[in-house]
Chain A
């Protein structure tokens, strides 16, 4: 098998608290192939965003990488020097953030914020970089880019701002694009445009995507493989279609059941959507054993005592459940 583009092994991220350190993320492993779109799904606070920040080398106090390997193109990068990290960031791994309102500097024209990428990584002069920024805006289909490069973020709509973010992220043709909830803050109609644009540009350039979202439906539309995180651990990892057809972990099952589906009412009559009872435990009070056990209807004694390991499924894919059978 070829070397995967990104390989995460047994990642553990510590959160320093008042004298006690908690593990915000624990035993997270996954691989992304070149040009592959991989989805990471989970609720707020499950650790998906900080996993992304770890891949960018952007964890800041009180978070820190406690253990694990991050391998990019066969090379360990978790121990890189700050200078090495800077060379990777932006040029090989780029990131799009959730809030396009605040993710852009309000006092700097958007063209300049794109141009920075060419100045930083390609050694371009500012005037040359501005020309390339205009071209980058055209690629993300911002109308009349020659005027827009001089606009400030507040003069653009949310969707346009996220296009600018995509232009920044893809400016230097990175190998991996991390998209952390890139459409959560946008209108539903704009969401699909942005997702399509991202998918199309990445496919054209052979850029892999690590798509992070709470929206299982969105992720499985875009990605070939999907991993589901719960309370800092990956609980299931399967091809996108299989996640829907045969979810193996009770949490994934709950997520799938709680998705509203078009046409459902016509087939089965009016039904309430099912929700997962209970709430996500806080990081300071993760239960022993399987972290989902207090909310799981199938939980038995072993679930409360022993942390389940990841089991390989016969069809491929992994599940972390004692009763996955």
Chain B
């Protein structure tokens, strides 16, 4: 297990390096800068000399190669630069947002797994039944709804009408504020998981070794417990991994909608203000999260399926 872990972690590094380069180059070819953005909206009438000085301070006048070299050296020591907007280190800005973001993503994923996997399971065990039809209609709807609309509806129903839960904000960071955004974010993955689980279980139920298990004279419950679960899990875990990894990036809409102080809303705000260092930092964090989750999923495969060896 340990050498596998080491190899997987080593594999992350080149990917991250590529992402760093891409994120940097992407923003260096985009037109406009923080300074020109201040002027563009026409509200401020800044003295060109001040603008010149700001550009110098922020290092925007240096050639791309110099800036890239500086950027990489700084990142190597864990410095993501200074926010143009607040003049604070980007690491500090992001650090304040990571915990709420992780909380939201984990809560959404828990909801998706706890509801989606059993739903797909029940549907597969009784194909064509009312449970199956209802679950799959639910799953299709869940996949089709936009987070934005769903979030608004949840807010309207549970906050405005029923007054059970707060409509938005982080509050004291407790569960009450977390529920609505987590559900809004988790419905999509939940629906996808329900469908994948159903397909995986049906697939395994038709396998030859399940027929062997039945020929041994075990109850259908035992067949599922001893032979179907683990095999179906291998397929389900793939979907969990992909959904989980991309969820931090996907949370942007929900975070904005519920005024959730996560990395996603920081990213959107920074984009509008052309606060490039913060945008870069947020993207790096989202990508890193994706890579870490995928590495964990790979490790999960190794412990579930003896045929898989990363050697």
Contacts and interface: CB of A to CB of B under 8 A. Distances in A.
Interface of A: 56, 58, 85-91, 94-95, 97, 99, 102-108, 116-117, 120-121, 152, 154, 165, 168
A58 B209 contact: no
Interface stretch (B28-36, B149-157, B299-307): B299-307
A102 B215 contact: no
B66 interface: no
Contact of A56 (B215, B218, B226, B234): B215
Interface string B175-210: 000000000000000000000000000000001110
B238 interface: no
B219 interface: yes
B215 A106 contact: no
B31 to A, nearest CB: 54
Contact of B307 (A58, A97, A116, A154): A154
Contact of A90 (B211, B216, B227, B305): B216
Contacts of A102: 207-209
A89 B217 contact: yes
Contacts of A99: 208
15 contacts: A90-B217, A91-B217, A97-B212, A97-B215, A102-B207, A105-B209, A106-B307, A107-B230, A107-B231, A107-B305, A108-B226, A116-B216, A116-B226, A120-B222, A121-B217
B217 A86 contact: yes
Interface string B66-87: 0000000000000000000000
Interface in B226-285: 226-227, 230-231, 234
Interface in B83-102: none
A97 B217 contact: no
Contact of B209 (A90, A103, A154): A103
B218 A86 contact: yes
Given A58-B214, A87-B217, A90-B215, 11 more contacts: A86-B217, A102-B208, A102-B209, A104-B209, A104-B212, A105-B213, A105-B231, A106-B305, A107-B305, A107-B306, A168-B216
B106 to A, nearest CB: 28
A212 B207 CA distance: 21
B231 A106 contact: yes
A58 B304 contact: no
Nearest to B215: A95
Contacts of B230: 107-108
B216 A117 contact: yes
Contacts of B219: 86
The majority secondary structure among interface residues of chain B is helix
Contacts, number: 71
Contacts of A89: 214-217
Given A89-B216, A95-B215, A120-B217, A152 B208 contact: no
Contacts of B305: 106-107
Most buried by B among A87, A94, A106, A168: A106
Interface in B32-49: none
Contacts of A168: 212, 216
A121 B306 CA distance: 28
B162 to A, nearest CB: 45
Contacts of A106: 209, 231, 305-307
Interface in B162-177: none
A288 B227 CA distance: 44
Contacts of B214: 58, 89
Interface string B279-311: 000000000000000000000000011110000
A87 B216 CA distance: 9
A94 B215 contact: yes
A93 to B, nearest CB: 9
Given A97-B208, A154-B306, A154-B307, A105 B217 contact: no
Contacts of B213: 105
Contacts of A108: 226-227, 230
B126 to A, nearest CB: 13
Closest A-B pairs by Cβ, 5 of them:
A89-B217, A90-B217, A102-B208, A90-B216, A105-B209
Most buried by A among B209, B218, B305: B209
Contacts of A121: 217
Interface string B50-68: 0000000000000000000
Contact of B211 (A97, A116, A154): A97
A111 to B, nearest CB: 13
B212 A120 contact: no
A108 B216 CA distance: 15
B252 to A, nearest CB: 38
A145 B118 CA distance: 39
A97 B207 CA distance: 12
Most buried by A among B208, B217, B231, B234: B217
A109 B219 CA distance: 20
A186 to B, nearest CB: 16
Contacts of A88: 217
A107 B215 CA distance: 18
A304 to B, nearest CB: 39
A102 B206 CA distance: 11
Most buried by B among A90, A99, A165: A90
Contacts of A104: 209, 212
Given A91-B217, A108-B227, A120-B218, A103 B306 contact: no
B216 A103 contact: no
A116 B211 CA distance: 15
Contacts of B209: 102-106
